[in-house]
Copies of this chain bind each other. A is one copy, B any other.
Amino acid sequence: MKAPPEPHLLRPESYPFRLPIETQFSDMDLYGHVNNLAVGRFYESARARFQMQVFDHRNFFTRDATYSMMLVEVTMRYLAECNFPDPVEVGVGVSRIGNSSYVMQQALFQKGACVGLCEAVMVLTTRGKPTHIPADTRERMTPMLLRR
């Protein structure tokens, strides 16, 4: 269907931010694998923790936040089965910074293997409208660029 993923995407060290996550019993589907929705939650959790570390909590994550990082598009690729009860690790790196949007590249690792990839397009908004990413936010993202 699609070209195989670029090799650097499969390596944990390409991702400046990494979050370990325990799999949970309820993550298992009918086949005993971690289900796709749980995988989606792992990526979301890692995006949230990434943003909490990189951006200012008060401006981004409270109900009265000035900014909101809106997910506008997400692509998830399933490379191998992910299983309970082993933990997973999600890697996150910024692969592109635009005017009001940026792209997060993510990977899911279990027992040393890359079992999934995710690309998320985020848009910075204020009151529901896209807004220019401020210089300081841009700067905070620089150390988080995906490594090749």
What number of copies of this chain does the assembly contain? 4
What residue in chain B is nearest A2 (Cβ atoms)?
Answer: B73
Chain A, 48-87, contact with B by CB distance < 8 Å: what is the 0/1 string?
1100100000000001000010111111111000000100
Question: A41-B26, A73-B77 are known contacts. Are A1 and B101 too (CB-CB below 8 A)?
Answer: yes
Q: Smallest distance from the beta carbon of A52 to chain B beta carbons, Å?
A: 7
**Complex contact A28–B26 (CB within 8 A):** no
Bound CA–CA A6/B112 (angstroms) = 40
CB-CB nearest in chain B for A42:
B24
A78→B121 CA distance, assembly (Å) = 10
Q: Which secondary structure dominates chain A's binding surface?
A: mixed
Which B residues are CB-close (under 8 A) to A76?
73-75
Instruction: Tell me if A143 counts as interface (CB < 8 A to partner B).
Output: no
Minimal beta-carbon separation of A1 from chain B (angstroms): 5
- Interchain CB contact under 8 A, B1 and A25: no
Give CA–CA (A134, B137) in the complex, Å: 49
Query: Is A49's CB under 8 angstroms from B121's CB?
Result: no
Q: Mark A1-41, 1 if CB is under 8 A from B, else 0.
A: 11000000000000000000110111011111001110011
| Contact in complex: A77, B85 (CB < 8 Å) | no
Chain B: minimal CB distance from A39 (Å): 10
Q: Can you identify 25 A-B contacts, CB atoms within 8 angstroms?
A: A1-B98, A1-B123, A2-B121, A21-B22, A22-B45, A24-B45, A25-B44, A25-B47, A25-B48, A26-B37, A26-B41, A26-B45, A28-B30, A30-B63, A31-B63, A32-B63, A36-B71, A36-B74, A40-B40, A52-B85, A72-B77, A72-B78, A73-B77, A74-B75, A74-B76
